[in-house]
Structure 1
Amino acid sequence: MRIFFSLFFLLSVVGVGFGQETINSNLSSKKGKLYFYWGWNKANYSSSDIEFKGDDHNFTLKNVKARDTDLEWKIGKHLNPSRLTIPQFNFRVGYFLDDNWDISIGTDHMKYVVNNLQTVKISGYIENTGTAYDGVYDNDNIVIDGDSFLSFEHTDGLNYVNVALRRNDRIAKLGSSVDFNLLAGVNAGVVIPKTNSNFLNRGRNDEFHLSGYGVGATGGLNVTFFDVFFIQSELKGGYINLPSITTTPNDSDRGKQSFAFSQWNIVFGGYINLNKKSKK
């Protein structure tokens, strides 16, 4: 994945160097164009406190660390049409309101995995479960052991469905067929994860659930070819708040957490001109 971003950065440097003199010539209008893209992301997450509540438990794990799951690029995984939704992906459809501003809707399919066997602080209680974890806790140490205590993942998707408003500015041209553009914008939406949580080996709920919301901001570099296709690199960051997470098959068991996130994305897409006049 890093190779893609390195090549993308190199293309941008070349484009700025060769395109400064022609930047204002042969500019095509973006107003009225529809665009779409598909790509992949790497994500990072801040530590968070995770609260668990149910009929026989009410406790908080503090400063819990987590990671994503896409550790390396694999052609068979990321380019296999039958497995498009398995890696961490980004999909978006947008419309240009004018030459600079677009509005869009999309899904950021991230994956969130609590690191196994980490030691954290726990406060609260677990009672009448018949396990070694029954007790009252007051900022005590506990090991998050997925085999006996808890595994916790949003790996069938930390699905951030969001609406974005972005500004696009052309910074250079390379000949008459390649444009270099900077973009920046804000986004907000809902988070609908399918949480893989297994508390005291009770199994998982395994259903998509509207768990909270997110807000964020994006910056990126876009290289457009022939006004039709593009490759785009994005840096995205934001905040996610999940006040209602399903944690077991028992619908009354719930979790709660919030954290900051960052993404590093590479996407590929195209434009559809909705303003084309029919030929007579």
Structure 2
Amino acid sequence: MKKLSVLILFTGSFLYSSSQVKNRLLKGMYIQWGYNTESYTKSNIHFKMSNGNDFVLHNAVAHDKGDFDAIYKEPSQISIPQYNYRFGFYLNYAHTKALEINFDHAKYVVTDGQTVRVTGTIDGKHVDGDSVLNPDTFLHFEHTDGANWLHINYVEQHVLLPTASKSRPLLTGVWKVGAGINIPRTDFTWRGERLNNNFHVAGYNISAEAGLRLYMLRKFFFECTGKTGFVRYINALACTPSQKGNRATHSFGYVEAIATLGYDIKF
């Protein structure tokens, strides 16, 4: 929670400072907070370990880990579920165009118990066959302190339905395209030995998103969108207490459903 607060404060402070410098260009801003759920494509995960093991899990299946029960079990810990936050800056007075800093705290868990084809070298021997993923006898791999996609979106919105007085939008359509970096924290278990590794920049992502924004009040809105993208991890940490320097490389596509509450701010 402390790390989340520092990250949000830093991002917000940076964007606010930028807005003061560029207030002649920017025509307002907005902030959003909400939660998400994902589905992932299969992934080939390449492990290169300090003990000489160098192997690939082929077509590994993974799932997300919503933890939405924490919303009512631990309501003060708002960063336990898979969350999203956004800081957006409008580029015109009509608020139809914006640039947005977007952070998706998604969770990616390779499913235990599945059988996958493994190729490469393990314990100095060539392998090419099926293995069952088990944390006690083989391995477990997940990004659950976050797969963590930080990126910049270009945003457009279009009025679909005004209020009865036609003084402001009631319902708008929004679409976004973006790209950025991955800052995962990878939890890795090798033959029963586990380590939740450090946060670090480990790759890149691209995405596209579209949905609806409902202005319940003039400044408050509810946004519901669907998102799809591609994520590439180039050097995710997969160390254990006794093995440093382990790395994992993989990529996958995803679809994501997002619901957020937002607030418009005028400069």
Match of residue 255 from structure 2: 262
Please, which of 151, 158, 161 is the counterpart of residue 162 of structure 1?
151
Deviation of residue 72 (structure 1)? 5.4
Match of residue 42 from structure 2: 47
Deviation of residue 200 (structure 1)? 2.1
Amino acid at match of 2:212: L
Determine if contact 2:68/2:81 at 8 Å carries over to the other structure: no
Match of residue 198 from structure 2: 207
Please, which of 123, 126, 129 is the counterpart of residue 136 of structure 1?
126
Deviation of residue 187 (structure 1)? 0.8
Deviates more, 1:47-56 or 1:247-256: 247-256
Secondary structure of 1:252's aligned partner: coil
**TM-score, length of structure 1 as denominator length:** 0.80
Q: Does 1:231 find its partner at 2:222?
A: yes
CA-to-partner distance for each residue in 1:103-123, whole Å, 9 max, x for gaps? 010210000001100000000
Determine if contact 2:67/2:81 at 8 Å carries over to the other structure: no
Q: Give the share of equivalent positions with the same residue, in percent.
A: 31
Match of residue 186 from structure 2: 195
Match of residue 98 from structure 2: 102
Q: Does 1:119 find its partner at 2:115?
A: yes
Kindly report which structure 2 residues correspond to 1:3-22, keeping only aligned pairs within 5 A, or say none. none
Secondary structure of 2:34's aligned partner: strand
Determine if contact 2:71/2:81 at 8 Å carries over to the other structure: no
Change (3 A) 1:77 1:218: farther
Amino acid at match of 1:39: G
Match of residue 13 from structure 2: none
Amino acid at match of 1:193: P
Q: Does 1:33 find its partner at 2:23?
A: no
Determine if contact 2:70/2:77 at 8 Å carries over to the other structure: no
How many Å separate the matches in 2 of 1:205 and 1:68?
Answer: 17
Deviation of residue 102 (structure 1)? 0.4
Q: Which runs of 5+ in 1 are unaligned?
A: 1-30, 129-134, 275-280
Amino acid at match of 1:57: N
How many Å separate the matches in 2 of 1:48 and 1:182?
Answer: 33
Determine if contact 1:117/1:146 at 8 Å carries over to the other structure: no
**TM-score, length of structure 2 as denominator length:** 0.84
Determine if contact 1:178/1:225 at 8 Å carries over to the other structure: no
Determine if contact 2:238/2:247 at 8 Å carries over to the other structure: yes
The alignment yields a C-alpha RMSD, in angstroms, of: 1.7
Matched pairs, number: 235
Q: Does 1:61 find its partner at 2:57?
A: yes
